[in-house]
């Protein structure tokens, strides 16, 4: 087997700072576990614009299509705010998502015990929480036609958006969810509003079809999305993998993320169709942006980016035990009370820098 290939795109602002800490983890695997990755590094966002006049070079796009996984830091910043829309840093990210056709957005909500009191919910409700929300990303009401603001022919106006899902769009994201469930705890809960939306009826039928025909061994349940929202804050640990459409997924994944605390802790992945080697097209990235308010100050929390790499280990490289090691090191460091500034509520405690947090994680890895 060739080494897994990884394209690293640090991007702008704190992107390069947090990515430098991921590099330490990658190097640690090479030295201590004899696990090597074929890593290529390139530019995206404002950094690519500065070098090439475009937020993503064609050669970078071609490389992204070839590798087993892309790991992206963050793009954007005030320096680029005045740029023409077509070359804005975000366009680089959108081009990657679109041309790789990344239709399944994975947002874990995982609660590290040491941060359980950071949650807005009671500790016992969130401690040990580990759920995964799979949001359909490329279709649904954000894309459906017709759309627009039109005259209603009665002297007023009407705003229209259309929820539209095809059988194949539903089936492919359902497959992503079932595949994930097989790597986790074999449970999927699908959420829609089949009680009031025809697209929801089709969603429910097609998810059930994929289950019955392709993944009968995975446990499947269905829930109305509004009931799901209630259950998510009432008893979140009842869930493992949740699969839902673009709109409901947008809301549910943001709500679930906040069960567990800081933006600096949240990883994500976007997956597409399986490639020839069976691995899905994949891009991993922290949920946070380029944080221009703290960029260059060594204050950024690198954990979201390091956990994004751990997701790549688990879901692209089939190295779940290595993903466990990384997540275990993060847990250990947090348990020791080591905190970047974003994880410190009150004054008086002294935060560690980005690089010190990375070093602490490497030290914790050293004992695993």
For residue 345, the minimal CB distance to ligand NAI (Å) is 14
326 touches 316 (CB < 8 A): no
Q: Is 17 annotated as a binding residue?
A: no
For residue 291, the minimal CB distance to ligand NAI (Å) is 4
The DSSP string of 244-262 is E-HHHHHHHHHHHHTTS--
Rounded-to-integer distance, Cα 128 and Cα 111, Å: 6
Which of 169, 250, 285, 342 is the binder for Mg ion (CB under 5 A)?
Answer: 250
Q: Which three-class secondary structure state does DSSP give residue 286?
A: strand
| Among ligand NAI, Mg ion, none, partner that 92 touches (CB below 5 to 8 angstroms by kind) | none
Q: Residue 36 phi/psi, 5° resolution?
A: -115, 150
Beta carbon nearer to Mg ion, 12 or 250: 250
Q: Is 117 annotated as a binding residue?
A: no
Decide if 235 is catalytic.
no
Q: What phi-psi label fits residue 77: left (phi over 0), alpha (psi between -120 and 50 degrees) or beta?
A: left
Residue nearest to ligand NAI (CB): 289
Q: Is 98 annotated as a binding residue?
A: no
Q: Which of 27, 212, 226, 349 is catalytic?
A: 226
Name the segment binding Mg ion (CB under 5 A); options: 28-36, 62-70, 144-152, 243-251.
243-251
| Among ligand NAI, Mg ion, none, partner that 364 touches (CB below 5 to 8 angstroms by kind) | none
Beta bridge partners of 107: 133
Decide if 151 is catalytic.
no
Residue written as tokens 């695997």? Answer: 29
Decide if 342 is catalytic.
no
Neighbour count for residue 339 (Cβ, 10 Å):
20
For residue 257, the minimal CB distance to ligand NAI (Å) is 12
Name the segment binding Mg ion (CB under 5 A); options: 148-156, 252-260, 333-341, 349-357.
252-260
Decide if 193 is catalytic.
yes
273-332: contacts with Mg ion (CB under 5 A): none
For residue 302, the minimal CB distance to ligand NAI (Å) is 7
Rounded-to-integer distance, Cα 18 and Cα 364, Å: 18
Q: Which of 12, 193, 215, 342 is catalytic?
A: 193
Using CB under 6 A, list all residues that contact ligand NAI: 14, 18, 74-77, 90, 93, 263-264, 285, 288-294, 300-301, 304, 342
Site membership for Mg ion, residue 254 (CB under 5 A): yes
| Among Mg ion, ligand NAI, none, partner that 75 touches (CB below 5 to 8 angstroms by kind) | ligand NAI
Beta carbon nearer to Mg ion, 58 or 254: 254
| Among ligand NAI, Mg ion, none, partner that 324 touches (CB below 5 to 8 angstroms by kind) | none
Q: And the tokens for 273?
A: 């169709």
Q: Which three-class secondary structure state does DSSP give residue 268?
A: strand
Decide if 240 is catalytic.
no
Site membership for Mg ion, residue 245 (CB under 5 A): no
DSSP symbol at 86 = G
Q: Is 226 annotated as a binding residue?
A: yes
> Could you tell me which residues come within 8 angstroms of residue 298 by beta carbon, excluding any fewer than 6 positions away?
17, 353, 354, 355
247 touches 36 (CB < 8 A): no
For residue 243, the minimal CB distance to ligand NAI (Å) is 22
Q: Which three-class secondary structure state does DSSP give residue 58?
A: helix
Q: And the tokens for 265?
A: 């802790």
Q: Is 179 annotated as a binding residue?
A: no
Rounded-to-integer distance, Cα 103 and Cα 106, Å: 10
7 touches 42 (CB < 8 A): yes
Which residues are identified as catalytic?
142, 193, 226, 250, 254
Binding-site residues for Mg(2+) sit at 226, 250, 254
Binding-site residues for substrate sit at 97, 107, 135, 226
């Amino acid at each position: 087997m060739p080494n897994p290939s990884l394209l690293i795109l640090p991007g702008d602002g704190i992107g390069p700072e947090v990515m430098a800490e991921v590099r330490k983890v990658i190097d640690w695997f090479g030295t201590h576990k004899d696990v090597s990755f074929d890593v290529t590094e390139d530019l995206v966002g404002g950094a690519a614009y500065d070098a090439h006049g475009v937020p993503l070079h064609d050669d970078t796009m071609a490389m992204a299509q070839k590798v087993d996984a892309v790991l992206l830091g963050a793009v954007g910043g005030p320096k680029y705010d005045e740029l023409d829309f077509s070359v804005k840093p975000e366009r680089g990210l959108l081009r990657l998502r679109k041309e790789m056709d990344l239709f399944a957005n994975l947002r874990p909500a995982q609660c590290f015990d040491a941060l359980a009191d950071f949650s807005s919910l009671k500790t016992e409700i969130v401690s040990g929480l580990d759920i995964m929300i799979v949001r359909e990303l490329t279709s649904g009401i954000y894309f459906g036609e017709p759309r627009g603001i039109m005259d209603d022919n009665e002297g007023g106006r009407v705003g229209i958006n259309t929820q539209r899902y095809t059988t194949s769009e539903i089936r492919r994201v359902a497959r992503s969810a079932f595949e994930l469930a097989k790597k986790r705890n074999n449970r999927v809960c699908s959420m829609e509003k089949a009680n009031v939306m025809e697209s929801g009826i089709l969603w429910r039928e097609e998810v059930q079809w994929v289950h019955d025909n392709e993944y009968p061994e995975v446990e499947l349940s269905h829930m109305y999305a509004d009931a799901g929202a209630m259950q998510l804050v009432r008893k979140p640990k009842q869930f493992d993998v949740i699969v839902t459409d673009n709109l409901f997924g947008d809301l549910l994944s943001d709500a679930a993320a906040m069960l567990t605390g800081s933006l600096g802790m949240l990883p994500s992945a976007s997956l597409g169709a399986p490639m020839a080697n069976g691995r899905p097209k994949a891009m991993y990235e922290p949920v946070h942006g380029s944080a221009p308010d703290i960029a260059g100050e060594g204050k950024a929390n690198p954990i979201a980016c390091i956990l994004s790499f751990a997701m790549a280990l688990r879901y692209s490289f089939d190295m779940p035990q290595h993903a466990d090691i990384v997540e275990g090191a993060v847990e250990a460091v947090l348990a020791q009370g080591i905190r970047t500034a974003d994880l410190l509520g009150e004054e008086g405690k002294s935060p560690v820098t980005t690089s010190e947090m990375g070093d602490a994680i490497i030290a914790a890895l050293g004992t695993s």
